[in-house]
Amino acid sequence: LFFLLQPSNFLARLVPALAGISLVALPAFWWDFTGEKRGLVLAIALALDSVFIVFSRAVNPGIIALAALLWALTFLKHKKAGLAGLSLAIGFLSGAAFWVFLLLAGVFYLLFRLFFDAEKVNQLRELIEIKQLASSKAIIAFFAALVLLSTSFLLNPAGLGDAAGGLLEFWRLVGKPFANPVYHPIYLLFARSLLGMLLFIGALIGLKRRGRKELSHFLGAAALISLLVAIAMSRSSYELLLAPTFLFWIAAAWWLSEFRLDFKLFSFGGAVLAIFMLALMVYFSQNLRKLAALDIHSPQFINIGLMALAGLVLLVSSWWLINHAWPNSSLKRVMSASALSFLIVLNLAGTLSGLK
């Protein structure tokens, strides 16, 4: 685009934004597999998640790499080998992140074979036929797109020499020093995708309770490995966090689509409990925000830290008391709804602040 048109900030951000928008539409092509409700919840979650919004607005090819790989798998599912080859060519040109995501996809397949029986593995192979990539349509589409895109539609033949730049960048990535502490990706996930992580944990617990341990173990292992790879491979940019965040929302969409809330639960006692829980969560989050802005050696750090700890103790003890004193009470659902509402508002606030 820079070769064809005049370089600008708008053009630099255009392709990542289009890639992010395409990911919101992606679940619609899997509705026969996920169901319309779960697919719709996943689409809304991806549209509002601050991690995806940040990388959709940044001059960063990471979200292009993820979108290219996911669309390639989607086209293979719909037996569109040519479009799959085109998507892989776009991913090939999107930098080192594509190769990390491709490596993770291979690891996920091995995990699927580990946790599921042969029948489910065969169903997956029938759903996504990788052998389509060896067809003439896929090969011609891949190389044609690779040549046209890398040479700016044959106007810049020298660009073909940079086509394999992403693979070389991936190879050199291991030797690069970390620009931030190793734990920085975890901090970013807590800051940007706390709601997704908590819903992911809730979904894993729900899957186990419903007797679907193999799916729970698979999603848990896949998310853990993708997070470890993101920590190990991220240097100065953190687009690899898109992989665990995407897995968080896949599981969270299942949990949210199954969640049922009866507003009759909010009687006088339920309303009082909901207000009490929301007040505690606001108190805890505000003190936590103040704590994050203070230096660890400042005198106020201990005072604010103790206040935040007190709020956390009250939250945990209230939750424990309700669960053990009234195990079959509807108040448990009131507490869950209150926590979910607070986290959704918090996530939306972070998303809107990221749009500024």
Q: What is the pTM of this model?
A: 0.80
**Percentage with pLDDT > 90 across the chain:** 22
What digits encode the pLDDT tens for the residues 254-312?
877 776 655 555 566 667 777 777 787 887 777 777 776 777 777 787 888 888 888 88
What are the tokens at 43?
Answer: 């689409």
Predicted confidence band of residue 63 (pLDDT cuts 50, 70, 90): very high
Alpha-helical (H) ranges within the chain are 9-25, 31-34, 36-48, 50-57, 62-77, 81-92, 96-115, 118-127, 136-150, 165-173, 184-192, 194-209, 213-233, 242-258, 268-293, 299-325, 331-354
Rounded average pLDDT over 334-338 = 73
Query: Residue 242 CB: number of other CB atoms within 10 A?
Result: 27
